[in-house]
């Protein structure tokens, strides 16, 4: 236990909502700890992105304490406490138990009366197991509750297993996480191979933490990751999609990419893309995706929000263009070629990283729109630049011109066109404009108002 005087975590830097949750649990007689990345970041002097809480209160007890609480999750039962602008995640301490005796069947409640009892009212229903593993040891469900020490030992890495106790403001370290924090190491808790078998996504998380914090992977952890990397394919594709977004949108995407390539995880997550990289000569695609992720990092670090489809278009763009050009060379229309390449790519990719259909369609539109930049006559530029997805398509267009050096005249034309359009929109006096800006505004014709027909009156008899 590290007393308050020996660390610099202050409640001033903890979310007010997290403090409300911690104090209400404490006042109700429960243990209440701030846990995970929030404690790690506070100790490193970083601003936490979220605050998680661990307690000895069971999910049902948490729900009784907070009206704004919702229980979620089947694999791990969690409580989400909702506030206006924040969600505080509350988990019950997990156990180290490797095997739990389950009551397989429980009788359904007795009927109110015999006459109203439905037929087969004595039928028993199976109760979902609290702990469920595959034969190899991968955890499918874990809702066995334990002590704080057991919970710490169940976590993934030592630097993520530090607890902040709201009762006395001390930091509790069961796994020597403070030592690894000072040494700048990402180390699994316990045997690395076993930990990665239990949850293969931990390998992806290890890469993310190493890149985000600027830490090194501890030697045994690195060796186990390389040996077990193929197991990442066993994880849920939907879960891996969320992890991929976290990987590449943290502002250190280029570091993440090189570490994924070094460990072999990139080829497991993106088989087609990884295979294509290996067949290219002179390493050009590697340079391309590195530059693309460098651009993404620059935007994130500047405070710009990058949407998932923009990230994926920058990552996959060169691959798609290469495959598309082969189909266009044999007579296929560019749009049809892009559609075919992307549909095959996303279908194969869905077995590893499941990209939502809406995001995939936005990637398709963004890459399709690249052909429209060649049309600079008439009203085409005005119509195109007014489309909702133009800004994203133009960012990719500029990036490609900067990397390849191709069509610099076209790039200069669009830059001038957009500058003049911006000046015109702001009402500034401008000189000669690109031809596309000179267009006549059609005057709307006034419709003649129809007079109502004269009222019919009966003839005087």
- Residues marked active site are found at 50, 52, 156
φ, ψ dihedrals at 117, nearest 5°: -70, 130
Say how far apart CA 237 and CA 258 lie, in whole Å: 22
CB 338 within 8 A of CB 364: yes
Helix H or strand E segment including 414: helix 408-425
Q: Residue 28 CB: number of other CB atoms within 10 A?
A: 14
> Is 170 in a helix, a strand, or coil?
strand
CB 23 within 8 A of CB 33: no
**Which one, of 180, 257, 181, 193, lies nearest residue 229 by Cα?**
193
**Which one, of 2, 16, 78, 76, lies nearest residue 51 by Cα?**
16
Q: Where are the alpha helices (DSSP H) in 188-333?
A: 192-198, 201-213, 219-228, 237-248, 253-263, 265-269, 271-279, 284-301, 308-329
Residue pointed to by tokens 């990665």: 196
* The token pair that represents 49 in the structure block: 């992105």
């Amino acid at each position: 236990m590290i007393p308050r005087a020996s660390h610099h975590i202050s409640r001033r830097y903890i979310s007010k909502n997290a403090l409300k949750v911690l104090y209400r649990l404490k006042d109700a007689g429960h243990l209440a700890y701030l846990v995970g990345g929030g404690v790690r970041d506070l100790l490193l002097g970083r601003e936490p992105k979220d605050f998680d809480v661990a307690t000895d209160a069971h999910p049902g007890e948490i729900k009784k304490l907070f009206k704004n609480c919702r229980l979620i999750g089947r694999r791990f039962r969690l409580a989400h406490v909702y506030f206006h602008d924040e969600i505080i995640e509350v988990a019950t301490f997990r156990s180290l138990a490797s095997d739990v005796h389950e009551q397989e069947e429980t009788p359904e409640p007795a009927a109110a009366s015999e006459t109203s009892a439905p037929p087969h009212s004595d039928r028993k229903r199976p109760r979902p197991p609290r702990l469920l593993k595959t034969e190899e040891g991968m955890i499918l469900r874990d809702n066995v509750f334990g002590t704080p020490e057991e919970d710490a030992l169940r976590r993934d890495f030592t630097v993520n297993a530090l607890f902040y106790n709201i009762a006395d403001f001390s930091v509790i370290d069961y796994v020597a996480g403070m030592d690894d924090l000072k040494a700048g190491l990402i180390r699994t808790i316990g045997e690395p191979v076993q930990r990665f078998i239990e949850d293969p996504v931990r390998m992806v998380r290890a890469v993310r933490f190493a890149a985000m914090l600027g830490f090194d992977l501890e030697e045994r952890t690195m060796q186990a990751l390389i040996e077990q990397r193929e197991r990442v394919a066993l994880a849920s594709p939907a879960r891996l999609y969320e992890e991929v977004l976290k990987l590449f949108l943290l502002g250190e995407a280029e570091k993440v990419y090189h570490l994924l390539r070094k460990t072999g995880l990139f080829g497991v997550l993106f088989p087609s893309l990884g295979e294509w990289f290996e067949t290219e000569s002179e390493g050009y695609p590697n340079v391309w995706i590195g530059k693309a992720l460098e651009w993404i990092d620059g935007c994130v670090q500047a405070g710009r929000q990058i949407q998932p489809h923009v990230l994926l278009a920058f990552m996959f763009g060169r691959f798609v263009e290469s495959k598309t050009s082969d189909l266009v060379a044999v007579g296929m229309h560019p749009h049809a070629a892009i559609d075919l390449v992307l549909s095959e790519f996303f279908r194969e990719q869905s077995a590893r990283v499941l990209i939502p259909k809406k995001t995939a369609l936005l990637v398709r539109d963004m890459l399709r729109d690249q052909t429209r930049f060649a049309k600079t006559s008439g009203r085409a530029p005005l119509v195109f630049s007014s489309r909702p997805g133009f800004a994203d398509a133009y960012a990719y267009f500029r990036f490609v011109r900067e990397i390849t050096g191709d069509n610099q005249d076209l790039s200069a034309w669009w830059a001038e066109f957009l500058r003049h359009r911006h000046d015109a929109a702001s009402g500034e006096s401008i000189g000669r404009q690109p031809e596309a800006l000179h267009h006549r505004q059609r005057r709307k014709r006034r419709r003649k108002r129809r007079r109502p027909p004269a009222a019919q009156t009966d003839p005087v008899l």
